[in-house]
């Protein structure tokens, strides 16, 4: 598939995906969604790739939301019958078992904030601004904003942001737990790519299991998630990389991972 709204390149074992509609502040239309689905599937299928980074082109926006111009004339029945926005979860978040990071370089509003929160974690530039302003358009978040934001920052801030549409700056987002780290805009891409390279160089199955484990914390009871964690840990002990990692430690040498 050739892409018109995103750019995809590989840097060693890291796939860099850039939302590329700067004239519309990288607003997410259905073409962006279709292209991202394809790009994430290709990343997931490529054994040479261990981690992905998603960012926005230009210095102003990661993504300013779902494309309002595309949604403006659409009848309600089309949203409902087409299960509008379902694909983000079913075709990007769920099938992507390898880790990926959102490098948020400016506005992450509405669907843009929601897309960033689909990532395994967010690294933000000091210029980043997060918000769920859908209420000002007469609607509400539809790609996970009311749920993931609440889990990330708690009810008080999430409720205030959804009800007023106010934006949260990068420092506030970091102290509230929405983002892992804030870095100067000029360093954002390099810093995030370095972090992604560290993850991509980890034993592959262990990286995938660690991602799954952390995500399970949000899905089920503590009793169940602790059991799942133990079982996944026990399964990892059967891998070649476990044998290699522990042998390398004992022998005081660098491990050589096979990803098996
Ligand atoms: C389509 C968008 C867009 C969007 C910006 N643009 N956001 N186009 N969808 N979400 C376009 C503008 O129309 C304009 O194009 C160009 O990008 C530059 O934007 P400006 O508004 O001129 O820039 P600025 O004045 O700097 O303001 C920046 C901004 C503002 C504060 C980010 O653009 C803004 O408020 N955007 C909308 C944010 C938003 O409401 N997002 C949530 C969308 S709803 P032209 O060609 O006109 O110059 C959503 C989920 C909905 O995400 C779920 C329910 C169904």
In the chain, % of residues over pLDDT 90:
100
Reply yes or no on whether 111 is catalytic. yes
pLDDT at residue number 1 = 87
DSSP lists the bridge partners of residue 130 as 108, 168
pLDDT at residue number 231 = 98
Ligand 1 lined by 37 (C-beta under 6 Å) = no
- What is the per-residue pLDDT across 198-224, written as a single tens digit (0 to 9) for each? 999 999 999 999 999 999 999 999 999
Which residues lie closer than 8 Å to 228 by C-beta, 6 or more apart? 213, 216, 220
Q: Which of 106, 111, 142, 245 is catalytic?
A: 111
Burial 222-250 (b: 16+ CB within 10 A, else e): eeebeebbeebeeebeebebbebbeeeee
Ligand 1 lined by 135 (C-beta under 6 Å) = no
Q: What are the structural domains, with CATH classification, of the chain?
A: 6-201 (3.90.226.10), 204-251 (1.10.12)
Lookup result for tokens 């933000």: 124
Ligand 1 lined by 32 (C-beta under 6 Å) = no
In which residue ranges of the chain is pLDDT below 70? Answer: none
Two structure tokens written together for 137 = 């358009």
The Å distance, Cα 63 to ligand 1 centre, comes to 9
- Helices 204-216 and 240-250: angle between axes, nearest 10 degrees: 110
The Å distance, Cα 24 to ligand 1 centre, comes to 7
pLDDT at residue number 235 = 97
pLDDT at residue number 45 = 98
């Amino acid at each position: 598939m050739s892409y018109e709204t995103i750019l995809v390149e590989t840097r060693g074992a890291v796939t860099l995906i850039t939302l590329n509609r700067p004239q519309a502040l990288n607003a997410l239309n259905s073409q962006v969604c279709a292209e991202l689905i394809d790009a994430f599937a290709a990343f997931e299928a490529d054994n040479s790739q261990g981690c992905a980074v998603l960012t926005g082109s230009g210095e102003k926006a990661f993504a300013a939301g779902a494309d309002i111009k595309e949604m403006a004339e659409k009848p309600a029945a089309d949203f409902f019958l087409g299960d509008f926005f379902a694909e983000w979860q079913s075709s990007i978040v769920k099938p992507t078992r390898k880790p990926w990071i959102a490098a948020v370089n400016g506005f992450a509003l509405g669907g843009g904030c929601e897309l960033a929160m689909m990532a395994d974690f967010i690294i933000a530039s000091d210029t980043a601004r997060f918000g769920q302003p859908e209420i000002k358009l007469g609607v509400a978040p539809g790609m996970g904003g009311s749920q993931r934001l609440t889990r990330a920052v708690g009810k008080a801030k999430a409720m205030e942001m959804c009800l007023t549409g106010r934006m949260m700056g990068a420092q506030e987002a970091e102290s509230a737990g929405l983002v892992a780290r804030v870095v100067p805009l000029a360093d954002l891409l390099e810093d995030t790519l370095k972090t992604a390279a560290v993850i991509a160089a980890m034993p592959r199955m262990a990286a995938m299991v660690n991602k799954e484990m952390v995500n399970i914390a949000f899905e089920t009871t503590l009793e169940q998630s602790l059991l799942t964690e133990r079982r996944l840990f026990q399964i990892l002990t059967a891998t070649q990389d476990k044998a290699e990692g522990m042998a390398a430690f004992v022998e005081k040498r660098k491990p050589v991972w096979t990803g098996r």
